[in-house]
Chains A and B, each alone.
Chain A
Amino acid sequence: MDGIRGPAEPTKHNARTIAALTSNPGCARRRVLDAAGVDKKALAEHLGAPAPFGDSPFALARGNVFESIVKANGAAELIRLLREMLDLSLPEVAYHALDNVAGRESLDTRHRRSVQLLREAARSAEDSGTLFAHPLLRLDVGGRAVYLEPDLIAFQIAGRFHIVEIKSFPVIDRRAEPEKVAAAAIQSAVYVMAMRDFVASLGHDPEIVSHDVVLVCPRDFSNTPTAALIDVRKQLTTLRRQLDRLENLDSILGVLPPGLTLELRPDSTGARTRPVGELDEALKHLEPRYAPECLSVCEMSLRCREESQGRTEALGRSVQEQLGGIEFASEVLSLAAGTRPPSIHEEEAARMLRAAHRLRSQCLGETA
């Protein structure tokens, strides 16, 4: 694994990148790259096919503004919402900001501080309504510890922790964009999982971390926060399965040539010196499973799209299915025109394609 990455530091995962692991689980290339901690962004750039997405500074600014509104005055506004939603009847709520102090603390120190406070909260028998802002949790991903920073963890009377996720997309007339809610749910599930692992390590029942996460968003066109509970049980199962698979790569790794590496060999100035041709060769051993959906989530997507040129998978899963799962567009056409006899397992698809071809030619006045 380390050989594949080379001497570079493994890239740091965060909730978003871990959540992304669930989007195309069948892709061996991505699984190996992620498990090895390869910097996919740098790799794609060096290959001349940089990731086709980015964040607008306006979106980032808006996210930060909204988060600071929610957390202002010891999260007063949020506590009001939580009281309504979780029946948090306590008059007082303690608020611990666990953010980086003066930018000097190491991740490890911050993590230790978070652990200490959360341990006390989990052990405490009394009903202490407490909010922890930006605690640093740890999760094992592909055999490596990853630090995660949820927006907030709420601890409430019934003895359950709730992950609070603050997002700046609006909820308008009680509706939000489903894709955005889905993305927030899977990211929150990552935090729930990390928190559960943590309380389990203290000997508590992991279930004291609720599978209902609190999603806080701006309401309508305002900056006023509104909150909703989201059940992330399904996302937890999916995540667990993907993380387990990440550790079980033996079947893929076993067939890789020894010494395979994707290192970029930066020189002393940081310029990448690895010949692109060599990388191309190395990548060939890691089979991608490209789908158009990759374009919005995976840094390597443009590169993989290039490789899947001429294949029906590049047209989308539903198109590929309609074409009977035939791998190449050229094969589809030769089967449809009847210029190539189908193999035994292609017969069904070929019959359908020939019928489609006949009808299409009839209607467009072409010769069949």
Chain B
Amino acid sequence: MTTLTALARAHAVESGCAQPITTVRHVHVADRPFACVPLALAGEANAPLAALVGDERERPRLLVVHQPRDRDQRFGFAHRMGQLFQGYIARFPSVVQERVHESTRPVDGPQLWVPNPRSTAFLKLFGRSTRYRSVDGPYPVEETVPRLGRWLTQFVHEAEYPGQSMLLEATTVLTQHWATGQSAVEDAHLPALMAWLLTPDGMNGRAAALAAEDPVTHPPAGPATDPTFDREVLAPAMAAYDAASNPVARRTAKERLESALRGQLAPTWDLVWQAIGLMRQLPPGERVVKRWVRDVRSNQTFYLRLNDGSPPQPKRDGAVAAARRLSRLERTQANYEAQRAFDDPLVMAEHRLAGNAFVGTVVEVEVDRFTGKARRPLIKVRTDDPVSLVSGTVLDPRRERQKAEILEVEQDEDALIISLELAGGMGNKTKEPPPPRSLPTEGEEVCYSALSDEFKRDGDFPSLDETPWTHGGPPVPVRVTNEDVQEDWS
């Protein structure tokens, strides 16, 4: 939570309207996203109850587990979801055929949308419970089941990296772009959040959000169901299904259960697609596509691994894998933070307010200044920002290859005059003047910050086989055993 976002919230409270906190969109919205709205049975570890899935808003596919404690039905659900999801992925040549190279050209790739972080957590566990299932031995499952488990695990794992657009949670994405007049706790409830963003005519956001808290008219976005729905609708419908003694009664009971669950899911399904629509309306940030291409490539790499007989993802990372992952997380986070700020003046404003960035006017330029043979121009920038930087290297995203070293910061009445020594990004010829526009000119507005979107190399880590004994030695390869298949399932 930054002061700018907090201020936007205060504005939302007073105006009754949600307030933008970015000027561009920082995620990619795919042409054909796949939405998944899951519901789980309360109290169970990870028992799917129902889901609406699909890549067409008008044609959601309803998957229902009529008796969630029945193992066969649970894997039947996974099988049907697997068919739909893998059928969806197979439609992308970018994943299953062509080799995608690093580029800034938009590519079409798979993208999964869920309502909220809890849904992601549910899919993570669902991936865990299905990816080690076996097609033979006791309790065999269809091939699609472990494959779905591995795909879900891939999406959920990748979703941990900041800036990705492979798996998007509606509440997370929306709250990264708008501030409402309620708290983060209330924003987690998708109907209430959307009530602020798409407020019905003649209402204010707060009144609309309050109305959206009624679970009867606005069912929760899952995966947890409303306890009153469980007690008054679901439990009797399930009991009727279990008690049905002939095919006719069973079919009636099944239809009743399905219609009740569809009623709980359909409003959330619509909200997720409305969220996708809202995001499409925002112009994308310049660097978004670069990250999206990386997402598509990650899926392509994964697809190859899936087909070359590699084992499923382990239950827990080994020492080397964990260290690598952490290092990648840190680098991704730093790059994403820089990219967001470079793409969006309102995000940069947060850094300016914190004193780590400044926007100002160039008041003096000394081009012919040399250190040895190297040209090291000096510029002075006048700024009103509350800068707390006193030394170090900064750069302006419009001249990303040109580093600026802070030499001096002087007070000038209410403003600050910052002297910067520039290096790089101005051609190699010392004898000739630098190419036009390679250097800031007097009167130009510039924006310098300590942020950097530089490519950083992966750290040096031992190979898996060389994991030191202090870190548990080389990890035992993942083997699919039937050990936990035998367990007494709840």
Partner of B230, one of A57, A63, A169, A221: A57
Q: Is B108 engaged at the interface, CB distance under 8 Å to the other chain? A: no
* Interface contact A323-B6, CB-CB below 8 Å: yes
Q: Is A60 engaged at the interface, CB distance under 8 Å to the other chain? A: yes
Query: What distance in Å separates the Cβ of B254 from its nearest Cβ neighbour in chain A?
Result: 19
Stretch at the interface among A8-16, A84-92, A237-245, A360-368: A360-368
Report Cα–Cα, A66/B484, bound state, in Å: 18
* Interface contact B490-A62, CB-CB below 8 Å: yes
Stretch at the interface among A122-130, A185-193, A255-263, A325-333: A325-333
Report Cα–Cα, A330/B235, bound state, in Å: 47
Query: What distance in Å separates the Cβ of B448 from its nearest Cβ neighbour in chain A?
Result: 15
Partner of B13, one of A62, A329, A359: A329
Residues 44-71 (chain B) with a chain A CB within 8 angstroms:
44-46
Partner of A221, one of B234, B235, B490: B490
- Tell me the count of chain A residues lying within 8 A, CB to CB, of chain B: 55
Q: Is B185 engaged at the interface, CB distance under 8 Å to the other chain? A: yes
* Interface contact B183-A353, CB-CB below 8 Å: no
* Interface contact A360-B7, CB-CB below 8 Å: yes
Given contacts A58-B41, A172-B128, A312-B10, contact A359 B183 (CB under 8 A): no
Q: Is B172 engaged at the interface, CB distance under 8 Å to the other chain? A: no
* Interface contact A315-B349, CB-CB below 8 Å: no
Given contacts A54-B227, A222-B488, A314-B183, contact A364 B23 (CB under 8 A): yes
Q: Is B315 engaged at the interface, CB distance under 8 Å to the other chain? A: yes
B1 partner residues in chain A, CB cutoff 8 A: 316, 318-319, 322
Partner of B7, one of A62, A221, A356: A356
Query: What distance in Å separates the Cβ of A215 from its nearest Cβ neighbour in chain B?
Result: 16
Report Cα–Cα, A58/B230, bound state, in Å: 7
A315 partner residues in chain B, CB cutoff 8 A: 6, 9-10, 13, 181-183
* Interface contact A333-B6, CB-CB below 8 Å: no
Q: Is A56 engaged at the interface, CB distance under 8 Å to the other chain? A: yes
Report Cα–Cα, A336/B14, bound state, in Å: 13
Given contacts A62-B490, A323-B6, contact A316 B185 (CB under 8 A): yes
Q: Is B316 engaged at the interface, CB distance under 8 Å to the other chain? A: yes
Q: Is A275 engaged at the interface, CB distance under 8 Å to the other chain? A: no
* Interface contact A319-B488, CB-CB below 8 Å: no
A58 partner residues in chain B, CB cutoff 8 A: 41-44, 230, 234-235
Partner of B227, one of A56, A173, A223, A363: A56
Report Cα–Cα, A276/B225, bound state, in Å: 32
Report Cα–Cα, A362/B353, bound state, in Å: 13
* Interface contact A357-B490, CB-CB below 8 Å: no
* Interface contact B43-A59, CB-CB below 8 Å: yes
A341 partner residues in chain B, CB cutoff 8 A: none
Q: Is A218 engaged at the interface, CB distance under 8 Å to the other chain? A: yes
* Interface contact B213-A332, CB-CB below 8 Å: no
B93 partner residues in chain A, CB cutoff 8 A: none
Report Cα–Cα, A362/B350, bound state, in Å: 12
Q: Which residue of A lies closest to B121 (CB)?
A: A177
Query: What distance in Å separates the Cβ of A296 from its nearest Cβ neighbour in chain B?
Result: 8
Report Cα–Cα, A360/B2, bound state, in Å: 12
Q: Is B337 engaged at the interface, CB distance under 8 Å to the other chain? A: no
B235 partner residues in chain A, CB cutoff 8 A: 57-58
Report Cα–Cα, A49/B9, bound state, in Å: 25
Q: Is B473 engaged at the interface, CB distance under 8 Å to the other chain? A: no
Report Cα–Cα, A316/B234, bound state, in Å: 34
B231 partner residues in chain A, CB cutoff 8 A: 56-57
Residues 276-324 (chain A) with a chain B CB within 8 angstroms:
292-293, 295-296, 309-310, 312, 314-316, 318-319, 322-323
B6 partner residues in chain A, CB cutoff 8 A: 315, 318-319, 322-323
Q: Is B386 engaged at the interface, CB distance under 8 Å to the other chain? A: yes
Query: What distance in Å separates the Cβ of B346 from its nearest Cβ neighbour in chain A?
Result: 4
B488 partner residues in chain A, CB cutoff 8 A: 222-224
Most buried by B among A310, A315, A323, A355: A315
Instruction: Give me 24 A-to-B residue pairs in the complex whose CB atoms sit less than 8 angstroms apart, sorted by A's number.
Output: A57-B235, A61-B43, A170-B45, A220-B45, A221-B129, A221-B484, A221-B490, A222-B487, A222-B490, A224-B488, A293-B185, A309-B206, A314-B182, A319-B9, A322-B2, A322-B5, A323-B6, A323-B10, A329-B10, A332-B10, A333-B14, A336-B10, A359-B349, A363-B349
Given pairs A59-B42, A333-B10, A363-B23, 8 additional interface contacts (CB within 8 A): A221-B129, A222-B484, A223-B490, A322-B2, A333-B11, A333-B14, A355-B386, A356-B3
**Chain B residues in contact with chain A, CB under 8 A?**
1-11, 13-14, 20, 23, 41-46, 125, 128-129, 181-186, 206, 213, 225, 227-228, 230-231, 234-235, 315-316, 345-346, 349, 352-353, 386, 484, 487-490
